[in-house]
């Protein structure tokens, strides 16, 4: 059995059975890219000259219709592979413009195969005649986990094109990572229950307090879906605690009674904590906002809280501290951009390290001090870190202005274009939030808007990142 089912064999078998076009799901970006390279190396699987010319023509039409940057598309590392094989790799590490082209080609049924990670299953609505699942697990934030019923349904649901196919085919490619028995079991499982993703984020609380009192907000939170589920989960634990109390030994002086009473109290406290979880989260956020001078002891917004509420971002507290302490005052454009970009990146990713960062290190140290102040007051789920390498990545794009030149820098550092473009767009979004502070910080807002405009050059633009 193959440790990883070869893409060349998959395409041969699908072609033989007239099951193309297909979407092949892989569990990593690397696998997707390697598959395209392997198809390119196999000349027997290349398209005919006529098919290649037709594909080129449709790519040109797509570029013109969507007003895409032709030079970027045609200089892309996988462009020649796409034209020769009719196959494309689609994952978050790819530039968004490239993914747009692939999606358009797949929608028109001119791609033979799209090799993709789960991003296609969850976020893009286009079908194929066949879907091939090559692993019964996928990578998540906490490592690999077996596919859920919903994830499998998202993948298999891409099989079958309305108006073109009478039936769609979902196949599994057997390997040590893809057990058809496991996939069959998942397919027969009921869908996962509905869950709430609400939590009392600082930005949410600040915006609600503009129009509601703390007590009104407490009432709203108590009636939320999250609170409903917490109470539902706590009921059987309360019942267990009640039963444990009824079964306590009669001899209250015995060690057995004391141990049983201790366990019963633990169970009761666990039930109470779960039932009051949302109220506790709200109190945690409110206490942090009070400590950071966004909210008064009476639960009303301070002047700082009033303007900070306009920062609709998960970095509201960090940005507000830097603005309030005047770190962003009288900075050069490159310095302001670098400080915002340094907290916009993901701490688990690597960014440009190919040259020395021109921004003074003391600015990053001061930015870190404000991040630490926020962390001490508010322990968030997503820990913010100051990343000078992320700042250098965005600053390099800001100063270069030419994606082809910038992509060469990325290639030398092994950084994917998709990760870089995502970081740049995230930085631009945070700058857009600062721009909203025109009434309280007009010069800063104007500067943030100017920098953002310079960042959003093709292929990073509002047209594609809305």
What are 228's two structure tokens? Answer: 């409903």
Cα end-to-end distance, the chain, whole Å: 44
Phi and psi dihedrals of 53, rounded to 5?
Answer: -65, -40
Assigned token pair, 424: 């740049």
- Residue pair 121/148 in contact (Cβ under 8 Å)? The answer is no
Count Cβ neighbours within 10 Å for each residue of 387-398 and write b for 16 or more, e otherwise: bbbbbbbbbbbb
pLDDT at residue 176 in the model: 81
Assigned token pair, 108: 């028109």
CA distance 36 to 33: 5
| Phi, psi for 280 (deg, rounded to 5) | -65, -40
Separation between Cα atoms, residue 328 and residue 451, nearest integer Å:
13
- Residue 459: asked if its preceding bond is cis (omega within 30°), the reply is yes
Q: Give Cα separations from 359 to 133, 208, 363 (angstroms).
A: 47, 37, 8
Q: Are 143 and 102 in contact (CB under 8 A)?
A: no
Tokens matching residue 230? 């917490």
- Name the CA dihedral angle for 238, 243, 247, 252, rounded to a multiple of 10 degrees: 20
Beta carbons of 408 and 396 less than 8 angstroms apart: no
Report the interhelical angle of 361-377 vs 277-291 (nearest 10°). Answer: 130
* Residues whose CB falls within 8 Å of the CB of residue 108, separated by 6 or more in sequence, listed in order: 58
Alpha-carbon distances, residue 46 vs 73, 101, 450 (angstroms): 20, 20, 47
Provide the CB-side half-sphere exposure for 288 (13 A, CA): 25
Distance CA 57, CA 47 (A): 14
Furthest-apart CA atoms within the chain: distance in Å: 92
- Residues 6 or more apart in contact with residue 127 via CB below 8 angstroms: 158, 159, 160, 161, 162, 168
The one-digit pLDDT tens for each residue of the chain (466 residues) are: 556 789 999 999 999 999 999 999 998 889 999 999 999 999 999 999 999 999 999 999 999 998 888 999 999 999 999 999 999 999 988 998 999 999 999 988 889 999 998 766 666 667 789 999 998 888 766 677 888 898 898 888 888 888 888 899 999 988 888 888 999 999 999 988 888 888 899 999 999 999 999 999 999 999 999 999 999 999 999 999 999 999 998 888 899 999 999 999 999 999 999 999 999 999 999 999 999 999 999 999 999 999 999 999 999 999 999 999 999 999 999 999 999 999 999 988 889 988 889 999 999 999 999 999 999 999 776 689 999 999 999 999 999 878 989 998 898 888 899 999 999 999 999 999 999 999 999 999 999 999 999 999 888 874 443 3
What is the Cβ-side half-sphere exposure of residue 194, based on CA atoms within 13 angstroms?
5
Residues 6+ apart with CB under 8 A from 317: 202, 288, 292, 308, 374, 377, 378
Question: Residue 466 has what pLDDT?
Answer: 38
């Amino acid at each position: 059995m193959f440790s990883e089912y070869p893409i060349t064999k998959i395409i041969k078998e699908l072609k033989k059975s007239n099951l193309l076009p297909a979407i092949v799901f892989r569990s990593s970006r690397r696998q997707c890219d390697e598959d395209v390279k392997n198809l390119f190396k196999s000349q027997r699987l290349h398209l005919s000259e006529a098919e290649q010319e037709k594909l080129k023509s449709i790519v040109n039409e797509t570029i013109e219709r969507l007003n895409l940057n032709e030079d970027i598309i045609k200089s892309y590392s996988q462009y020649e592979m796409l034209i020769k094989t009719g196959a494309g790799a689609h994952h978050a590490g790819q530039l968004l413009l490239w993914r747009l082209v692939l999606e358009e080609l797949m929608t028109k049924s001119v791609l033979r195969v799209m090799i993709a990670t789960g991003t296609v299953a969850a976020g893009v609505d286009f079908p194929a005649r066949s879907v091939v699942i090559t692993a019964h697990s996928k990578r998540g934030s906490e490592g690999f986990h077996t596919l859920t019923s919903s994830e499998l349904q998202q993948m298999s649901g891409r099989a079958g094109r309305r108006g073109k196919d009478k039936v769609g085919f979902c196949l599994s490619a057997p390997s040590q990572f893809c057990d058809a028995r496991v996939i069959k079991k998942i397919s027969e499982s009921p869908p996962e229950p509905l869950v709430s993703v609400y939590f009392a984020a600082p930005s949410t609380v600040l915006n609600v307090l503009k129009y509601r009192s703390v007590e009104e907000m407490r009432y709203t939170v108590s009636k939320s879906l999250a609170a409903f589920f917490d109470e539902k989960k706590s009921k059987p634990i309360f019942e267990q605690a009640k039963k444990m109390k009824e079964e306590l030994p009669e001899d209250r002086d015995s060690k057995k009674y004391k141990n049983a009473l201790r366990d019963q109290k633990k169970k009761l406290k666990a039930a109470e904590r779960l039932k009051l979880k949302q109220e506790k989260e709200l109190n945690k956020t409110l206490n942090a906002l009070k400590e950071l001078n966004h909210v008064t002891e009476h639960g009303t917004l301070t002047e700082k809280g009033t303007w900070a509420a306009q920062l609709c971002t998960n970095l509201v507290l960090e940005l507000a501290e830097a603005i309030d302490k005047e770190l962003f005052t009288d900075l050069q454009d490159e310095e302001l951009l670098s400080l915002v970009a340094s907290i916009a990146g993901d701490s688990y990713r690597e960014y440009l390290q190919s040259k020395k960062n021109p921004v003074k290190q003391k600015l990053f140290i001061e930015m870190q001090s404000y991040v630490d102040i926020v962390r001490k007051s508010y322990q968030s789920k997503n820990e913010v870190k100051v990343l000078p390498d992320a700042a250098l990545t965005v600053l390099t794009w800001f100063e270069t202005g030419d994606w082809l030149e910038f992509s060469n820098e990325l290639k030398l550092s092994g950084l994917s274009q998709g990760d870089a473009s995502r970081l740049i767009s995230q930085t631009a979004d945070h700058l857009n939030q600062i721009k909203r502070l025109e009434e309280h910080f007009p010069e800063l807002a104007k500067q943030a808007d100017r920098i953002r405009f310079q960042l959003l050059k093709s292929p990073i633009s509002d047209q594609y990142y809305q």
